Amino acid sequence: MKDSIDYKKVAKEIREIILETTRTNGGHLASNLGVVELSIALHQTFHSPRDKIIFDVSHQCYAHKILTDRKHKFSTLRMTHGISGFTSPQESPYDLFFCGHAGTALSSAIGMAVARDQLNQNYHVIAVIGDASLTNGLTLEALNNIGETRLIVVLNDNGYAISKNVGSIAKYLNEMTRYYVYNRIKNFLKKYVTILPGGKSFIRFLMTLKQAIKSLLLPSSFFEHYGLKYIGPIDGHNMNELLENLEFCKRQNRPVLLHVKTKKGYGDPNAEKSPEKMHGISLTSHHEQSYSTIFGKKICDLAKQDPRIVCITAAMAGGTGLSLFQKQYPKRFFDIGIAEGHGITFAAGLSKAGLLPVCAIYSTFLQRAVDNIFHDIALQNLPIVIAIDRAGLCANDGPTHHGLFDIALLRNIPNLVIMQPKDTDELEAMLEAAIEFRKPCCIRYPRETKIVSIKNNSINEKVCPKICLGKSEIVVQGKDICLIALGEKVYLALEIARKLPQFSFTIIHGRFVKPLDHEVLLECAKHHLSIYTIEDHVKSGGFGSAVAEFLIEQHLPIHIHIFAWPDTFIPHASNNEDLENMFHFTVDDMVKKIQTDQGCMSML
């Protein structure tokens, strides 16, 4: 049956669908182009969903989706009510986990394989993991636990994370390509020498020498120390090699690792040439005024003045805007790989020894490092700046990528300072302040800005031009209703006030989640009937919740309402506006709520 399939044709068609869809919808292009043959071979060899194929990060699951009943829906990728850019069990029984963070595949695969054995079931468990995700701490912990569990690990080695893969494991994998030459020689001998007279016994002789030759020629296999049988490396674009080796893996009664070499972006000349740029195609292109770009430029300016400043990224130099710093200060720049926890604790060491570390990490990935922040930074009260990028909605990527939990995870940790700027000008001011505070400081800011920061248009510049620790900014002084907003939501508060001219509004930009501006909050509570807080974060444990906690202890007759995201996982969508409409989080929804509240209160 396999011989009758024109794999080249299938692969070509899949690549065309991926290219066309990512052109209009954005998404992970280069990683997906690289695993087309591998995905076809996996589905040809195994019987998913009976056999369990688990993708690490799962950003490389497009061919898998196309091959598993979602070809007709693929044009809706990452769109509102469309299919997800990651695996999603809600969407298909072929997708096992909601996944978007690196390093989870091996742990969950071991779990499933152990459960299968305990329940006396019989299916294959296959973890597909990239070379960069392999370096993740969680993966290494899982490797240490594989023992004799029967499972198959497919290592998709393209030499890249988003940028070039870093660290000793990357170097080691590179060295393993020597196996490639060895395998070629072995296969050649098997194929041609056996047909010669006496060839078979010559081969047998060679095979007895195999282990000796292997240990002489090749670096010892890292994976074999963990109990996995190492196979490869093989050419991940050669269907015969893939099918033959996956069949071999299937027959093994122990953990095996198949090392597959692929080319990121394979099949598209642009993506092959610039795999880093084409890792992800963004619809909202990274414009000059994005928070990440401004952060990158400002940190370079500050580094010019202070030679102690060093920057750390966990494999996200481009996304966080740190590429500029990397170029200007290569010796002061550290890409530590997909290792957020290590990055934070590494920063603690740098700080203790006299440097001024700035770590730029996406809100959702920082969740991995909460204990490191608690234990290694806050408890030590070390002066480190954590730039929390992508705080708030990240519409296209969905629940694994929205940055909606960082405040709740961090604001209960003593010593931390947490702030959010209302625009990119204020981000610059906050970075300067954070360096001056000499404390552990987090600055959260969103991916997208609706407000292009225009100098001289910064609201109420006179009131508090400087960022003072724990001081909010009074934008408008009124007397009926007080709106306290965090970050860009202050512009939304101004819009609410414009739509409700019958009320006199006080509008405050909170600036600090921690320490909170108790003085201003108290004044507001004393002189207004209602306080509304607005933030781009979940309600529980967020900024509004901090305001409410403080005010509840003041025993004042004040009505408080928190505008924030509900206690549920927010799905992906074409854009943030669709999600705001879906969850009634628009200006008009807030206006309506305030009108209803005030109407009710006036009847009392």
Ligand X SMILES: Cc1ncc(C[n+]2csc(CCOP(=O)(O)OP(=O)(O)O)c2C)c(N)n1
Is residue 239 near ligand X by the rule CB under 6 A?
no
* Residue 42: strand, helix, or coil: helix
Q: Is the dihedral of CA 553, 559, 563, 565 positive or negative?
A: positive
Question: Do 38 and 260 contact (CB within 8 A), yes or no?
Answer: yes
Question: Is there binding between residue 160 and ligand X (CB under 6 A)?
Answer: yes
Does the footprint of ligand X cover residue 365 (CB under 6 A)? Answer: yes
- Of 28 and 539, CB closest to ligand X: 28
Angle at alpha carbon of residue 256, lines to 254 and 262, rounded to 5°:
165
272 included as an active-site residue: no
Which one of the spans 87-95, 153-161, 184-192, 490-498 is the region binding ligand X (CB under 6 A)?
153-161
Is residue 162 a contact residue for ligand X (CB under 6 A)? yes
User: Taking a C-beta distance cutoff of 8 angstroms, is the pair 442, 344 a contact?
Assistant: no
What contacts 221, CB < 8 A, 6 or more positions away? 176, 230
Per-residue binding string, ligand X, 2-41, x by CB under 6 A, is: -----------------------------x----------
Task: Please answer whether residues 113 and 65 qualify as being in contact, where contact means their C-beta atoms are separated by less than 8 angstroms.
Answer: no
Q: Which stretch binds ligand X (CB under 6 A): 47-55, 152-160, 194-202, 435-443?
A: 152-160
Asked if residue 368 binds ligand X (CB under 6 A), the reply is: yes
CB under 6 A: which stretch of 94-102, 211-219, 243-251, 538-546 binds ligand X?
94-102
60 part of the interface to ligand X, by CB under 6 A:
yes
Interface with ligand X, residue 426, by CB under 6 A:
no
Tokens of 76: 């809706």
**176 binding ligand X? (CB under 6 A):** no
Residue 461: C-alpha distances to residues 420, 450, 464, 475 (Å): 16, 19, 6, 9
Rule CB under 6 A: say whether 322 interacts with ligand X: no
CB 320, min distance to ligand X, A: 11
Please report whether residue 509 would count as binding ligand X according to CB under 6 A.
no
Catalytic residue among 70, 116, 261, 368: 368
Q: Which of 91, 241, 340, 473 does the annotation list as catalytic?
A: 340
From 153, 256, 311, 315, residue interacting with ligand X (rule: CB under 6 A): 315
Does position 102 bind ligand X by CB under 6 A?
A: yes
Q: Does 263 help bind ligand X (rule: CB under 6 A)?
A: no
Sole binder of ligand X in the list 15, 52, 78, 101 (CB under 6 A): 101
- Per CB under 6 A, 516 contacts ligand X: no
384 contacts 441 by C-beta, under 8 angstroms: yes
Tell whether residue 133 is a contact of ligand X (CB under 6 A): yes
Report residue 167 as tokens.
């660290």
Distance separating alpha carbons of residues 506 and 475, to the nearest angstrom: 8
Compare residues 365 and 563 and give the one whose CB is closer to ligand X: 365
Residue nearest to ligand X (CB): 130
Taking CB atoms within 8 Å and a gap of at least 24, the contacts of 453-459 are: 453/289, 453/294, 453/423, 453/424, 453/425, 455/425, 458/423, 458/425, 458/426, 459/422, 459/490, 459/494, 459/509
Nearer to ligand X, 27 or 421 (CB): 27
Q: How many CB atoms lie within 10 A of CB 329?
A: 18
Taking CB under 6 A as the rule, does residue 271 contact ligand X?
no
CA pair distance 33, 276, nearest whole angstrom: 13
Binding to ligand X by residue 318, rule CB under 6 A?
A: no
Any catalytic annotation for residue 340? Answer: yes
Under the binding rule (CB under 6 A), the answer on residue 489 touching ligand X is: no
Residue 446 and residue 290: Cα distance in Å, rounded? 9
Kindly state whether residue 106 participates in binding ligand X, applying the rule CB under 6 A.
no
Query: Given the DSSP bridges, would you call strands 559-565 and 125-130 parallel, antiparallel or unpaired?
Result: unpaired
Told to judge if 428 belongs to the known catalytic residues of this protein, a careful annotator would answer no
The 8-class DSSP code of residue 374 comes to I
Q: What is the nearest approach in angstroms of ligand X to the Cβ of residue 79?
A: 20
Beta bridge partners of 381: none
Given 11, 83, 166, 338, the residue binding ligand X (CB under 6 A): 338
**Distance in angstroms (rounded) separating the CA atoms of residues 386 and 372:** 12
Catalogue the active-site residues.
264, 340, 368
Give the interface with ligand X as residue ranges (CB under 6 A): 31, 57, 59-60, 100-102, 130-133, 156, 158, 160-162, 264, 314-316, 338, 340, 365, 368
